[in-house]
Amino acid sequence: MTFVVTDNCIKCKYTDCVEVCPVDCFYEGPNFLVIHPDECIDCALCEPECPANAIFSEDEVPEDQQEFTALNAELADIWPNIAEKKDALPDAEEWDGVPDKLQYLER
Ligand code: SF4
Ligand code: SF4
């Protein structure tokens, strides 16, 4: 079992989640974070820390966001690790809650 970062993280990237992860399994792209499914120990600490409510347990990913499970696995293999909190993207608040942000994902 792993946790999965979903749509509402895109263009927000608050990074509160990375501070609490005991195994540092977050990976960072230009405007999105992902969790490495083979490294996540299923501790659930990150889920309540996300101001954008973008993190779900693998078995609770909303129906319309199922593709994010595979996307986390794919991008975690490519992107660099992030273990410390940094500033959110400048227009994060503006984008928080905007639906269907996958089209804006930068790789
Ligand atoms: S706290 Fe939420 S919005 Fe911020 S980087 Fe982590 S998953 Fe993305
Ligand atoms: S569930 Fe735990 S191990 Fe997995 S990403 Fe969140 S904080 Fe890290």
Atom of ligand 1 nearest to the CA of 13: 5
Per-residue confidence (pLDDT) for residue 46, from 0 to 100: 98
Nearest residue (CA) to ligand 1, atom 1? 50
2-24 pLDDT, tens per residue?
999 999 999 999 999 999 999 99
Hey, which bits of 6-93 come out as E strands?
26-28, 33-35, 55-57
Nearest residue (CA) to ligand 2, atom 8? 21
**What are φ and ψ of residue 52, in 5° steps?**
-95, 5
pTM recorded for the entire structure: 0.96
Atom of ligand 1 nearest to the CA of 5: 7
Going from the first residue of the chain to its last (107 residues), give the mean pLDDT of each consecutive group of 10, the final group possibly shorter. 98 97 98 98 98 98 98 98 97 97 98
**What are φ and ψ of residue 16, in 5° steps?**
-60, -30
* Class of the domain covering 3-82: alpha beta
